[in-house]
């Protein structure tokens, strides 16, 4: 993952180094107040030659669906086969703060995903009389702007109802951190896709020859996961009850991660020696994960080099 607060001058060198080291994918985020997902994607794709660029995620309430499809179609035409587009609700408090949180987030997301995928596939869409949010009248991409093959459109979601929407309306699902094998399997059960379905997981990544050093470095990145929004990630874990009790006894997220048992960290992050992390990646793959995304900790360029030892 490209760190959202990376200095602007480091974005292209970071992307190029990730490609040089052999990573298959580089993911950018669109968090409120940071950098735009489409602009980052275009810049990285234009500055590299092989690496696949994932956008995780574009909030559905932030853009008109037709204009989002136009942007994604353009990227796919210019850089064929190198784009994976993630779309989701966006964080509720962010979207409320900009007046873009709908009365029915599930309805908006399903209409939006269906529309964007249809437009990218060359469909002409008229939903003026049937849709609640994405109301289109005879809308389509012009023939010159339709990509030869539509890029995959994934839903970045976490709750059971949203996961079911992903199963019906998306090519795959993005699971935010922490995403262990237990959560992946539980999510796939809710997704219940009728056909092939990609599953992308984000996880804090920390690799070091000394497993204890890797675990300690990963801890700060887990400070928020005790909050209620992260409950679906933790409920399938074998220590979920102990986790909740510890968080309730801590005054802050920082206190929580300091007191967290060391053996929990490698189950909540990709943390340890290169061999240990490879084993964890194999567990994720066996659970149905098709792409495992490292979220670097510490110095971004040093993290790139240490994470690449897993490759």
**pLDDT per residue over 47-74, tens digit each?**
999 999 999 999 999 999 999 999 999 9
How would you classify residue 75: left for phi > 0, otherwise alpha for psi between -120 and 50, otherwise beta?
alpha
The single-letter DSSP state of residue 31 is -
Contact between residue 155 and residue 171 where contact means Cβ atoms under 8 Å apart: no
Kindly indicate the confidence band of residue 300, based on its pLDDT and cuts at 50, 70 and 90.
very high
How many CB atoms neighbour CB 197 within 10 A? 18
Q: Would you state the structure tokens that stand for residue 76, as one six-digit string? A: 């796919």
- The pLDDT value recorded for residue 41 is 98
CA distances (Å), 77 to each of 54, 83, 121, 159, 178, in order? 15, 10, 13, 33, 33
Number of Cβ within 10 Å of residue 49's Cβ equals 10
Contact call for residues 48 and 16 (beta carbons, < 8 A): yes
User: Mean of the per-residue pLDDT values for the chain?
Assistant: 97
Give 258-281 pLDDT, tens digit per residue: 999 999 999 999 999 999 999 999
Instruction: Encode pLDDT of 81-105 as tens digits.
Output: 999 999 999 999 999 999 999 999 9
Burial class (CB in 10 A: 0-12, 13-18, 19+), 204: buried
Give the Cβ contact number of residue 130 at 10 Å: 10
Which pLDDT score, from 0 to 100, does residue 73 have? 98
| Alpha carbon distance 72, 83 (integer Å) | 8
- Distance (Å) of CA 202 to CA 95, 122, 152, 159, 209: 21, 31, 17, 16, 22
Mean pLDDT of all residues in 201-216: 98
d(CA 164, CA 297): 32
Average pLDDT over residues 149-164: 97
pLDDT band at 283 (very low <50, low <70, confident <90, very high): very high
pLDDT in tens, 143-154: 999 999 999 999
- pLDDT bucket at 129, cuts 50 / 70 / 90: very high
Rg (CA), the chain: 19
């Amino acid at each position: 993952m490209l760190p959202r607060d990376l200095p602007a001058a480091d974005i292209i060198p970071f992307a190029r180094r990730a490609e040089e080291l052999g990573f298959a994918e580089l993911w950018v985020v669109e968090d409120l107040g940071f950098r735009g997902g489409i602009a980052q994607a275009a810049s990285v794709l234009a500055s590299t030659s092989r690496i696949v660029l994932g956008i995780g995620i574009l909030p559905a309430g932030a853009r008109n669906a037709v204009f989002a499809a136009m942007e994604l179609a353009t990227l796919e035409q210019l850089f064929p086969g190198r784009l994976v587009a993630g779309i989701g609700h966006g964080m509720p408090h962010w979207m409320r703060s900009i007046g873009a949180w709908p009365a029915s987030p599930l309805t908006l997301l399903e209409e939006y995903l269906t529309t964007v995928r249809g437009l990218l596939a060359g469909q002409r869409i008229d939903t003026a009389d049937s849709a609640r949010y994405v109301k289109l009248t005879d809308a389509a991409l012009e023939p010159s702007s339709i990509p030869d093959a539509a890029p995959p459109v994934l839903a970045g979601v976490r709750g059971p109802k949203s996961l079911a929407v992903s199963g019906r309306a998306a090519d795959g699902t993005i699971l935010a951190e922490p995403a262990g094998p237990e959560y992946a399997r539980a999510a796939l059960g809710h997704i219940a896709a009728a056909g092939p379905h990609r599953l992308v997981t984000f996880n804090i990544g920390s690799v070091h020859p000394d497993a204890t050093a890797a675990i300690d470095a990963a801890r700060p990145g887990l400070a928020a996961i005790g909050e209620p929004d992260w409950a679906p990630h933790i409920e399938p874990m074998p220590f979920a009850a102990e986790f909740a009790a510890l968080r309730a006894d801590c005054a802050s997220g920082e206190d929580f991660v300091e007191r967290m048992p060391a053996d929990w960290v490698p189950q909540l992050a990709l943390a340890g020696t290169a061999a240990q992390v490879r084993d964890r990646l194999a567990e994720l793959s066996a659970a149905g994960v098709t792409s495992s995304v490292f979220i670097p900790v510490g110095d971004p360029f040093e993290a790139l080099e240490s994470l690449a030892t897993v490759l």
